[in-house]
């Protein structure tokens, strides 16, 4: 039993695109004193596996629900909804949102993502802890569904442009902050950059709770800024980590001493996804799927899906969903044969009639077919049947033990993505150095990008300070269960 004086709340600092190598370099060079303090007073786990696709909405959905996209049903940042016959985009680039229609896109981003698309069949961290009698807080997190009535307060001009009600009712945690749309502190004026969806805003909200002695048993705080820094400056961006550290310093400085911060709280500091390097040579770096598949009629974003269209593209930076609208006329393997000619694509995969996954690779011969259940077991205790060339997913099998190479937890992460939403589609991944583009996709030539299955996109660090416990496995999918247990252990019940 935990005595009253020992009770600690859990503060999770989720720093978008935080990665091991630049973090270690920032600490080594003295540019990250706050993260160094948390690290030296805790434990460091350098390689935690992020969910796939390695895009924040999917990653954070898994973090919050403890399941992959086959169960939480948020497939990626961009996907095709077969039932509504339209492309859904949660914010890849303003060009694409405008083409799809800003009112529909705004509804998808600010309402549908959490309230409709995130499956009601799974409970979020906030919902589960609320059921157990624990208050939680979400500050600036993309995924935030809770079990209380919450409201987004949309300014009149935004309301008119976006087509959203000025007071939009949502299901939220007990304490909920979401940029300028929902503030905990009326004094927080950090709205100039992205209307509050910035690190400074997140820090001011958390510091308000700390100084008011209102931190609940769990506070999840999201820091978005590093992501754009890394996109621009590359995956070894130490300056971006140093900038994020200055925000963490401001949080620790809100206590009488940094040591005092450890007395009252357990600190979990982690990234959400990695980023892979992108070539400086534009023509080489960008894989234009429209060019590769130009023999087919591809859906135009502004026009929407029309009867003569044959293929829908949903580009998520370094991965993409490719949907034939009539599989009888355009079989999945026919599209795969076209994409196989491009050596920049390392994984081309689809689900066959037997619900097994088939994998080929650009510029390489051979095929791998796999499905759950079988004699071979991976390091997470998941069993599989494998037929064909296991090198396509950089796997090795020794005495029925599967080991992953360049693609962490490759089989489970890829397999579950084929059950994340209805329809027939291919999933394609680019090799490091390259990213996909469609009609209005963002590009990161000479910088970094993510989305793919590769370990550069997939491995993130975690600093655990104030507890000896840890998740069952070094995967983000295992964090929710651990956090629930951690909060419960601190409750004294």
> Which pLDDT does position 2 carry in this prediction?
44
Statement to judge: residues 254 and 182 lie in one domain: yes
Closest to 67 measured CA to CA, from 443, 480, 391, 377 = 480
Statement to judge: residues 26 and 151 lie in one domain: yes
Closest to 425 measured CA to CA, from 67, 69, 81 = 81
Under 8 Å between Cβ of 279 and 445: yes
pLDDT at residue 242 is higher than 60: yes
> CATH code at 236?
3.40.720.10
Does residue 151 belong to any structural domain of this protein?
yes
Statement to judge: residues 436 and 459 lie in one domain: no
440 band by pLDDT with thresholds 50, 70 and 90: confident
Statement to judge: residues 470 and 364 lie in one domain: no
* CA of residue 377 relative to chain centroid, distance: 26
Does residue 102 belong to any structural domain of this protein?
no
Under 8 Å between Cβ of 34 and 242: no
Does residue 142 belong to any structural domain of this protein?
yes
> Which pLDDT does position 55 carry in this prediction?
97
Does residue 104 belong to any structural domain of this protein?
no
Residue-wise pLDDT tens digits, 19-67 = 999 999 999 999 999 999 999 999 999 999 999 999 999 999 999 999 9
Residue-wise pLDDT tens digits, 171-228 = 999 999 999 899 998 887 777 778 889 999 999 999 999 999 999 999 999 999 999 9
Mean pLDDT, to the nearest integer, of 328-339?
94
C-alpha 370/C-alpha 352 separation (Å) is 10
350 band by pLDDT with thresholds 50, 70 and 90: very high
Number of compact structural domains in the chain = 2
> Which pLDDT does position 293 carry in this prediction?
96
pLDDT at residue 4 is higher than 60: no
Statement to judge: residues 187 and 329 lie in one domain: no
C-alpha 164/C-alpha 167 separation (Å) is 8
Statement to judge: residues 184 and 223 lie in one domain: yes
Does residue 110 belong to any structural domain of this protein?
no
C-alpha 454/C-alpha 393 separation (Å) is 10
Q: Is 266 helix (H, G, I), strand (E, B) or coil?
A: strand
Under 8 Å between Cβ of 3 and 486: no
Residue-wise pLDDT tens digits, 142-160 = 999 999 999 999 888 888 8
Q: Which domain holds residue 149?
A: 4-74+118-278+453-491
Does residue 126 belong to any structural domain of this protein?
yes
Does residue 91 belong to any structural domain of this protein?
no
Kindly give, in sequence order, each residue whose CB lies less than 8 Å from that of residue 460, ignoring residues fewer than 6 positions away: 18, 19, 20, 47, 48, 50, 270, 271, 272, 273, 274, 476
pLDDT at residue 355 is higher than 60: yes
pLDDT at residue 492 is higher than 80: no
Statement to judge: residues 23 and 167 lie in one domain: yes
Tokens of 208: 């308000």
Statement to judge: residues 425 and 310 lie in one domain: yes
Q: What is the CA radius of gyration of the chain?
A: 22
> Which pLDDT does position 6 carry in this prediction?
65
Percent over 70 (pLDDT), the chain? 98
C-alpha 362/C-alpha 310 separation (Å) is 22
Kindly give, in sequence order, each residue whose CB lies less than 8 Å from that of residue 429, ignoring residues fewer than 6 positions away: 318, 319, 345, 346, 347, 451, 452, 453, 454
Tokens of 98: 């405008």
95 band by pLDDT with thresholds 50, 70 and 90: confident
Mean pLDDT, to the nearest integer, of 451-459?
98
Please report, to the nearest 10 degrees, the dihedral formed by the alpha carbons of residues 313, 449, 404, 385 taken in order: -10
What is the b/e burial string over 255-270, where b = at least 16 CB atoms within 10 angstroms of the residue's CB? beebeebbeebbbbbb
Statement to judge: residues 152 and 49 lie in one domain: yes
Statement to judge: residues 348 and 403 lie in one domain: yes
Statement to judge: residues 50 and 154 lie in one domain: yes
Statement to judge: residues 412 and 428 lie in one domain: yes
Cis omega (within 30 of 0) for bond into 239: no
3 band by pLDDT with thresholds 50, 70 and 90: very low
Beta-ladder partners of 106: none
Kindly give, in sequence order, each residue whose CB lies less than 8 Å from that of residue 337, ignoring residues fewer than 6 positions away: none
The pTM of the full predicted model, rounded to 2 decimals, is 0.95
Does residue 460 belong to any structural domain of this protein?
yes
Under 8 Å between Cβ of 240 and 221: no
């Amino acid at each position: 039993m935990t005595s009253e004086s020992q009770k600690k709340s859990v503060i999770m600092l989720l720093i978008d695109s935080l990665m091991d190598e630049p973090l270690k370099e920032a600490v080594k060079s003295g540019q990250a004193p706050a993260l160094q303090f948390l690290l030296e007073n805790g434990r460091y786990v350098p390689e935690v596996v992020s969910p796939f696709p390695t895009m924040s909405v999917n990653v954070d959905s898994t973090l919050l629900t403890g399941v992959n996209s086959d169960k939480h049903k948020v497939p990626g940042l961009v996907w095709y909804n077969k039932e509504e016959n339209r492309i859904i985009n949660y914010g890849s680039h303003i060009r694409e949102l405008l083409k799809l229609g800003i009112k529909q896109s705004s509804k998808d981003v600010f309402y549908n993502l959490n309230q409709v698309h995130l499956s009601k069949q799974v409970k979020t961290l906030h919902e589960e802890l609320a059921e157990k009698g624990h208050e939680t807080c979400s500050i600036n997190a993309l995924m935030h569904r809770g079990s209380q009535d919450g409201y987004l307060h949309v300014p009149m001009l935004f309301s008119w442009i976006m087509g959203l009600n000025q007071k939009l009712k949502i299901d939220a945690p007990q304490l909920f902050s979401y940029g300028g749309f929902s503030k905990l502190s009326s004094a927080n004026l950090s709205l100039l950059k992205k209307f509050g969806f910035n690190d400074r805003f997140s820090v001011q909200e958390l510091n308000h709770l700390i100084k008011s002695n209102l931190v609940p048993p769990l506070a999840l705080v999201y820091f978005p800024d590093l992501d754009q820094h890394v996109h621009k400056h590359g995956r070894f961006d130490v300056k971006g980590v140093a900038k994020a550290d200055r925000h963490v310093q401001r949080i620790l400085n809100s206590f009488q001493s940094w040591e005092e911060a450890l007395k009252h709280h357990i600190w979990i500091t982690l990234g959400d996804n990695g980023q892979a390097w992108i070539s400086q040579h534009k023509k080489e770096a960008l894989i234009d799927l429209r060019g590769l598949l130009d023999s087919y009629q591809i859906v135009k974003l502004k026009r929407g899906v029309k009867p003569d269209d044959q293929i829908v593209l949903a580009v998520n930076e370094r991965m993409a969903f490719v949907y034939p609208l009539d599989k009888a006329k355009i079989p999945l393997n026919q599209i795969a044969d076209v994409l196989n000619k491009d050596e920049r694509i390392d994984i081309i995969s689809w689900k066959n009639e037997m619900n097994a996954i088939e994998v080929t690779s650009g510029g390489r011969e051979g095929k791998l077919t796999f499905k759950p259940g079988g004699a071979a077991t991976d390091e997470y205790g998941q069993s599989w049947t494998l037929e064909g060339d296991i090198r396509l997913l950089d796997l090795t099998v020794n005495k029925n033990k599967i080991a992953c190479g360049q693609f962490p937890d490759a089989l489970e992460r890829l397999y579950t993505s084929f059950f994340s939403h209805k329809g027939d589609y291919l999933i394609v991944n680019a090799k490091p150095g390259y990213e996909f583009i469609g009609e209005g996709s963002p590009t990161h030539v000479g910088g970094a990008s993510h989305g793919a299955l590769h370990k550069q996109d997939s491995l993130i660090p975690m600093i655990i300070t104030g507890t000896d416990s840890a998740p069952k496995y070094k995967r983000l999918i295992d964090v929710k269960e651990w956090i629930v247990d951690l909060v419960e252990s601190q409750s004294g019940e």
